[in-house]
Structure 1
Amino acid sequence: MRSNCLLARFTGLFLVFVLYACKKQDASLQQVPSPAVAAVQVETVNGEVNVPLSWYTLELKLIRETPGFSPPVSARAIAYTGIALHEAVVGRSANAQTLGGQLNGLPPLPPPSKYKQYNWAIAANSALAYIIKQLFPNVSAANLQLINQLDSTNKVTYANNCSADVMARSVAYGEQVATLIYQWSLTDGGKDGYLNNFPADYIPPAGPGLWVPTPPAFQRAMLPYWGNNRTMLKPHWTDAVAYPPVAYSTDTASNFYKAARLVYQKGVAGTPAEKNIALYWADGAGTFTPPGHLIAIATQLIGDNQLSLSAAANLLAQVGISLNDGGIKCWKYKFHYNVLRPVTYIRSQIDSTWSPLIGTPPFPSYTSGHATFTSAAGNVMAAKFGSSYAFTDQQKVPEGFAPRSFSNFNQMIDEASISRVYGGIHYDFDSEFGKVTGKQVSDRVVLLKY
């Protein structure tokens, strides 16, 4: 049988590739184990995983630089990217399961042709190139050029000695799968979110304890209808609005006042370590956002653990789905309960001159997006690597932060969640119930068959 494509050393576009540089190696085409196998399998564990790593590196740049990619919108893009990747390579394994039919509204997807040879790295590359270009339709001309260049670079890098028919078949299959995934995405209610983060037709409810625009910008509410979007997980009893917040009160003996007082005290007398945690996890406007931070950690761990392309695709799909659905559920809670932000309460009840350490986002307080996103993705990664897996987050080093080490994923979840209290923009009950929501999502994500 034809030997598999030799993997050339990555000479690609992005400097980050040196972090995951592929080693030249020969990999022979495996024999078809049984007639049940959908396609001839090519298995090269080292090297080809750099295809998704390179695309996620670029996607994080696009999130930073493309207008409208707020945290929920970014989570949505990350999720569809991961699903397209998963479906492009699922056919390489006889035991792998397509997500078609498992996810909400996603029909069965076409399998690869039986007994035909595929270059799975090229199929993955073509799927990622297509889906990312569709998900970021308003990229700058310079970043569109980067998308096209990365597509070409990966094709050259991973196509040495491949016949023309294998290349064409692999490219066509990746694009076919990604096209169907993108068509599915068009009906979820969120495709134009990047164009209309602040809809003018939304009028927030008024009354004691309810959210109002916050200083200094006093922006309209961001994505007030996002909680109505279709989740990727099928409907479930946990989708019902539950876990009401602490009852609003201005009584100094009330739990609400005590929660606000804690935020105030952390703002006035927080330790240097607490302030550093708040700034580390801020991930505000112009950054890769909280969902981007978490998918960046996932890609780092893929490289650290030298996962295969298939294993990486499984993890990236799971983390993406958890981020997307966690964001939808969180925004559903936010605009159902419409809890006012700490800065509003503190200035009216405790100290009229107080300001939070970090900027208050323009949407209600309960529940915390950071806590939800981090709990959802962190628990997915814990299911993959183990509940006691220790790791060091290197993602903010380019921004001048020291790496942060964690003895397990729960420690990361707790730190990211409490960071918003330290930063002055969430009550502790926002974070605690956000963690519960995220865990509910992750528990369902990991039960899917991959």
Structure 2
Amino acid sequence: MRRTLLFLLIFAQSVFANPAKEELRKHLQPAVFSVTMVMIHDVVNPPAASRFYTYCLLGAHEIVARNNKQIVAPTVLTKSINPVSIEAKSYDYQIAALYCILETGRLIIPSGYMLEEDQKKLIIALLREGHSQATIDQSIAVAQDVARKIAADASTDGYLKLSTRLRYRPKKGDGFWYPTPPGYMEGVEPHWKTIRPVLIDSCSQFIPIPPVEFSKDSTSTFYKMAKEVYDVGKNLTEQQRFIASYWDCNPFAINTSGHMNIGFKKISPGGHWMNITGIATTKANLDLDKGIMVHSLAAATLMDAFISCWDEKYRSSRVRPETVINRSIDPQWQPLLQTPPFPEYTSGHSVISTAVAEILTYLLGDNFAFRDDTEVIFELPTRDFRSFRQASEEAAISRLYGGIHYRDAIENGQAQGKALGAFIIEKLKKAGVKAAI
């Protein structure tokens, strides 16, 4: 009889568990996507976007870790933020964490005020799900306090000093990067290496091997690499065209029409991977606490990968294929994708995609199949992948198909990203961060 009563009690607890708590995890991916949409509106460049994602998630991660001892606090992993003290006694930490994502974005993103509407929608949804107004108000107060502290920490990472630094001037010489058509824009974030990293030790910790030496000699390795980009671009299959377009992730592409320049806003490379992270954590059925942790670690990895990559880009400052091909092979040739406004070596997508794929593989497992719908809002179909690594490999080679990178920038970029990812994984292991599933 006692066993029967015990079974009924356990069954009742599972059936009649607080449905509002179970509903909370469904708000994570929309909250991150709201941040993404504001950055698309603001045309935030790829390195800066990764930084905004990171701080938006670090605060939420810290709130969760203070209330769930199974989640390793970000302050254990990084010195980028200070330990957060929370004085409130009665609040829902998961509501606070969700709201903190939006509140931090509101404070640090240029058009962050746009997130106020998303905050209102979240509150309405929480009320409908059965949370009391008092609990919501107390949780919001905690979120606002933590967000202010995270924003204060973010203000010390060097970002606010970037605008005070000297403008970048391209190096003289045929082998160095020069602004490319159609916008001939200045180099994006030439001083990004000065940003304080989150999980790695320094910007120069993962310097890749030197790029192939520039040469105009048609028998040289460099010339052959440029010719490969040209030949591939002239003979693209439909599948290759699609792959290049799928991973374009150019926040601001310019199309010309007569004397007009028409800009098209898209998601950043980091934004694409943050959406993949949301898709994966949802498919893995992670609870909200683990989902926030995975998002936070993915964002921090992306931020550090961009810092590492941009350190090399403006050290080698290598010329883009479009410039070389127009000068030495075919003056009429154009790449399928618009050449991004910064130096070529190493390939940013190769570095960051490989790094975050390693982290997601560690946290969610190898051969984690998923359906990516990131580009649907840009009128591209969904795409199925067998694993995070497969997706990262496709993202890397897409830069050759798109005509914007040489092969060594792709392959050495992958090696750079893998080394960075391996370092972060070892750091996570030592801190006690285990696989999320």
Q: TM-score w.r.t. structure 2 length?
A: 0.85
| Equivalent residue number for residue 118 of structure 1 | 91
| Equivalent residue number for residue 47 of structure 1 | 23
How far 1:370 sits from its partner (Å)? 0.9
How far 1:238 sits from its partner (Å)? 6.0
How far 1:234 sits from its partner (Å)? 4.6
- For 1:27, give the aligned amino acid: A
The 5 Å alignment of 1:34-433 reads 44=21, 46-67=22-43, 69-110=44-85, 116-139=89-112, 143-157=114-128, 160-161=131-132, 164=134, 166-191=135-160, 201-235=167-201, 239=205, 241-284=207-250, 285=252, 286-433=265-412
Deviates more, 1:46-55 or 1:420-429: 46-55
How far 1:414 sits from its partner (Å)? 1.0
Partners of 1:127 and 1:174 within 8 A in 2: yes
- Please state whether the residue corresponding to 2:381 is helix, strand or coil: coil
CA distance in 1, matches of 2:221, 2:79: 39
Deviates more, 1:182-191 or 1:99-108: 99-108
Show CA shifts across 1:410-445 (max 9, x none). 211111001011001111111112212222232233
- Please state whether the residue corresponding to 1:405 is helix, strand or coil: strand
Show CA shifts across 1:206-231 (max 9, x none). 11311111122211111111122111
- For 2:235, give the aligned amino acid: A
CA distance in 1, matches of 2:348, 2:317: 14
CA distance in 1, matches of 2:20, 2:420: 32
Partners of 1:104 and 1:234 within 8 A in 2: no
- For 1:127, give the aligned amino acid: C
Show CA shifts across 1:163-199 (max 9, x none). x3x4444333222222221111101122476xx6x98
How far 1:329 sits from its partner (Å)? 0.9
How far 1:154 sits from its partner (Å)? 4.6
Partners of 1:389 and 1:407 within 8 A in 2: yes
CA distance in 2, matches of 1:349, 1:382: 42
Deviates more, 1:414-423 or 1:219-228: 219-228
| Equivalent residue number for residue 27 of structure 1 | 17
Partners of 2:208 and 2:416 within 8 A in 1: no
Show CA shifts across 1:334-376 (max 9, x none). 0000000000111122111111011001110001111112112
Q: Where does the alignment leave 5 or more consecutive residues of structure 1 unmatched?
A: 1-23, 29-41
Partners of 1:389 and 1:408 within 8 A in 2: yes
CA distance in 2, matches of 1:148, 1:444: 36
Show CA shifts across 1:124-163 (max 9, x none). 1331232010122335x7x35424423433542455247x
Partners of 1:51 and 1:154 within 8 A in 2: no
| Identity percentage of aligned residues | 28
Deviates more, 1:361-370 or 1:345-354: 345-354
- For 1:84, give the aligned amino acid: G
CA distance in 2, matches of 1:397, 1:74: 20
When residues 161 and 208 of structure 1 are mapped into structure 2, their CA distance, relative to the original with a 3 A threshold, is closer
How far 1:381 sits from its partner (Å)? 1.1
- For 1:358, give the aligned amino acid: L
When residues 204 and 158 of structure 1 are mapped into structure 2, their CA distance, relative to the original with a 3 A threshold, is farther
Partners of 1:204 and 1:212 within 8 A in 2: yes
- For 2:110, give the aligned amino acid: P
- Please state whether the residue corresponding to 2:304 is helix, strand or coil: helix
- For 2:102, give the aligned amino acid: A
Deviates more, 1:184-193 or 1:263-272: 184-193
How far 1:314 sits from its partner (Å)? 1.0
- For 2:270, give the aligned amino acid: P
Partners of 1:417 and 1:435 within 8 A in 2: yes
Q: TM-score w.r.t. structure 1 length?
A: 0.83
- Please state whether the residue corresponding to 1:47 is helix, strand or coil: helix
CA distance in 1, matches of 2:217, 2:48: 38
The 5 Å alignment of 1:8-27 reads 26-27=16-17
Partners of 1:66 and 1:138 within 8 A in 2: yes
Show CA shifts across 1:271-315 (max 9, x none). 111111111111111112111011011111122222101110110
Q: Which has the higher helix share?
A: 2
- Please state whether the residue corresponding to 1:210 is helix, strand or coil: coil
Partners of 1:387 and 1:409 within 8 A in 2: yes
- For 2:99, give the aligned amino acid: S
When residues 349 and 237 of structure 1 are mapped into structure 2, their CA distance, relative to the original with a 3 A threshold, is closer
- Please state whether the residue corresponding to 2:75 is helix, strand or coil: coil
CA distance in 2, matches of 1:216, 1:127: 40
- Please state whether the residue corresponding to 2:54 is helix, strand or coil: helix
Aligned residues: 403
CA distance in 2, matches of 1:334, 1:159: 51
Q: Where does the alignment leave 5 or more consecutive residues of structure 2 unmatched?
A: 1-13, 253-264
- For 1:78, give the aligned amino acid: Y
When residues 223 and 418 of structure 1 are mapped into structure 2, their CA distance, relative to the original with a 3 A threshold, is same
